[in-house]
C-alpha cells in the first residue's frame, strides 16, 4: 500500500522545470539576484499586489531578518500555537517570547489578551496566520499603534489566501512566508518577506545579503539569499497554484461532508470576505486517547496524518520562562492535520474518514 503522508509536495511537469533550468545554463548565473530570481520576485509582486517583496532562503530566516531589521529587543508577545520556528526565531535574536493564548475558533492569537501582557519591555507582537486564516489584523494594528509596538506576521501558511481582496501577507510592519516543499506554494526551500515601507525594504535587502553591496558595507547582515534553481522551481510552480488550491478545496469539501461533526471540531474564520488557500485540514478530537487511537489505526494502513501543531510552544522544553495558555495547550493536544495535497484521492479521504468516524 502506498504511503500517504499529511501532505505531498507538488512537482510541476518536469519539462517546465527543465526549460527554466536550461536558462540557468545559458545565463551562467546561479545565485545573487540572478535573472530568474528577479523574474520570480516580479511575479510575486503581481500575485500579492505588493511592490515590497523579497525572495529569501526560507521562512525561518525571513522571521530572523524581520526581527533584526526592526531592531527588536526585550519582550515580544507571541502565539503559543504555531510551528516552533516562530518562537525560536525570537529566542535566536535574543528576545524573550511572551505567550498569550489563542482564540478557540480560529486558533490565532487572541487579540483581546494582548494588552494585559504588555510591559515596558514589550517591543513587538509576532503572530501567525494559523493554517492560512488571518489574525484579527485590524484589532492588532490598533493595539500596536496605541502602545507603539511593531507587528510581524508569520504568514508561512498564508500564500494564496486573501482578506477583503488583499493578500493575507500584506499586513503588519513585516510579513513572512515559507515556500518550503510542504507548503501550498513552494520553491523546494524558500520564503519571502513583505514590508510596509521603503526603508524597511532597503534594510531587509541589505541584511539578506551580508549587509553589503560590492565594497560598501552598510550594516550587519546574514546570508538570507536564495538561488536560481529555487527561483526556477517557484516559476514552474506558480502557474499551477490555482489548480493546486482548487484540488485542495475539493478534498477539503469531501472531508467536510463526511466527517462526523457531532464529535469533532474544525477551526473557522469569522471574516466574511475571506478566500482560503486550503493549506491544511485540521480536526480537533475530544481527548488525547481518541487522537492516539486514530493515529494508530491510520498508521496501520500506511496513512500518516500529523499532530500539527504539537506541542503548544509555551511548553517547549528549552524555555526559561513561560506563561500558561490553556486554550492552546488543549487544542495542541487534540488536533490532527489530515492528509491534504493537490492529489489526495477520494479513496484516501474515505479511508481516513471511516477510521475516524468509527473511533469517536
Residues that bind ligand PLP (CB under 6 A): 58-60, 82-83, 85-86, 128, 154, 156-157, 178, 180, 191
The least CB distance from residue 297 to ligand PLP, in Å, is: 26
Q: Are the CB atoms for 86 and 108 separated by under 8 Å?
A: no
The least CB distance from residue 331 to ligand PLP, in Å, is: 15
248 versus 351: smaller Cβ distance to ligand PLP: 248
3-state helix, strand, coil in the chain (%, to 5): 40, 15, 40
177 versus 303: smaller Cβ distance to ligand PLP: 177
The least CB distance from residue 62 to ligand PLP, in Å, is: 7
Taking CB positions, which residue lies at the least distance from ligand PLP? Answer: 59
End-to-end C-alpha distance for the chain, whole angstroms:
25
What span, in angstroms and rounded, lies between the C-alpha atoms of 187 and 115?
A: 38
- Three-state DSSP at 107 gives coil
The least CB distance from residue 185 to ligand PLP, in Å, is: 12
Determine if residue 49 is left, alpha or beta; phi over 0 gives left, psi from -120 to 50 gives alpha, anything else beta: left
86 versus 344: smaller Cβ distance to ligand PLP: 86
Written as nine digits, the cell of 340 is 491534504
Helix residue ranges, H only, the chain:
14-27, 35-48, 59-69, 84-92, 114-117, 137-147, 198-208, 228-237, 241-258, 288-300, 326-334, 346-358
The least CB distance from residue 302 to ligand PLP, in Å, is: 25
83 versus 276: smaller Cβ distance to ligand PLP: 83
259 versus 281: smaller Cβ distance to ligand PLP: 281
The least CB distance from residue 162 to ligand PLP, in Å, is: 18
41 versus 297: smaller Cβ distance to ligand PLP: 41
Written as nine digits, the cell of 43 is 511575479
Amino acid at each position: 500500500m502506498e504511503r500517504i503522508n499529511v501532505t505531498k509536495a507538488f512537482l510541476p511537469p518536469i519539462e517546465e522545470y527543465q526549460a527554466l533550468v536550461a536558462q540557468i545554463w545559458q545565463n551562467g548565473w546561479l545565485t545573487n539576484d540572478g535573472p530568474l530570481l528577479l523574474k520570480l520576485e516580479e511575479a510575486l509582486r503581481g500575485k500579492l499586489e505588493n511592490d515590497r517583496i523579497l525572495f529569501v532562503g526560507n521562512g525561518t530566516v525571513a522571521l530572523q531578518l524581520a526581527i533584526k531589521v526592526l531592531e527588536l529587543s526585550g519582550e515580544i508577545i507571541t502565539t503559543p500555537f504555531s510551528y516552533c520556528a516562530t518562537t525560536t526565531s525570537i529566542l535566536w535574536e535574543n528576545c524573550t517570547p511572551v505567550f498569550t493564548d489563542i482564540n478557540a475558533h480560529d486558533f490565532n492569537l487572541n487579540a483581546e489578551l494582548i494588552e494585559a501582557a504588555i510591559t515596558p519591555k514589550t517591543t513587538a507582537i509576532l503572530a501567525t496566520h494559523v493554517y492560512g486564516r488571518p489574525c484579527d489584523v485590524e484589532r492588532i494594528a490598533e493595539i500596536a499603534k496605541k502602545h507603539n509596538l511593531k507587528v510581524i506576521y508569520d504568514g508561512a501558511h498564508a500564500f494564496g489566501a486573501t482578506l477583503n481582496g488583499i493578500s493575507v501577507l500584506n499586513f503588519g510592519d513585516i510579513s513572512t512566508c515559507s515556500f518550503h516543499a510542504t507548503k501550498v506554494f513552494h520553491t523546494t526551500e524558500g520564503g519571502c518577506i513583505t514590508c510596509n515601507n521603503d526603508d524597511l525594504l532597503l534594510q531587509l535587502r541589505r541584511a539578506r545579503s551580508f549587509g553589503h553591496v560590492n565594497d560598501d558595507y552598510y550594516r550587519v547582515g546574514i546570508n538570507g539569499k536564495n538561488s536560481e534553481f529555487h527561483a526556477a522551481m517557484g516559476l514552474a510552480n506558480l502557474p499551477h497554484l490555482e489548480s493546486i488550491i482548487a484540488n485542495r478545496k475539493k478534498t477539503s469539501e469531501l472531508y467536510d461532508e463526511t466527517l462526523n461533526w457531532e464529535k469533532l471540531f474544525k477551526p473557522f474564520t469569522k471574516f466574511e470576505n475571506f478566500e482560503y488557500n486550503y493549506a491544511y485540514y485540521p480536526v480537533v478530537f475530544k481527548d488525547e486517547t481518541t487522537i492516539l487511537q486514530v493515529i494508530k489505526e491510520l498508521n496501520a494502513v500506511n496513512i500518516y496524518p500529523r499532530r500539527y501543531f504539537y506541542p503548544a510552544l509555551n511548553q517547549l522544553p528549552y524555555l526559561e520562562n513561560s506563561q500558561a495558555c490553556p486554550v492552546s495547550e488543549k487544542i495542541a493536544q487534540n488536533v490532527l492535520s489530515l492528509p491534504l495535497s493537490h492529489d489526495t484521492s477520494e479513496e484516501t479521504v474515505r479511508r481516513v474518514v471511516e477510521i475516524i468516524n468509527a473511533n469517536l
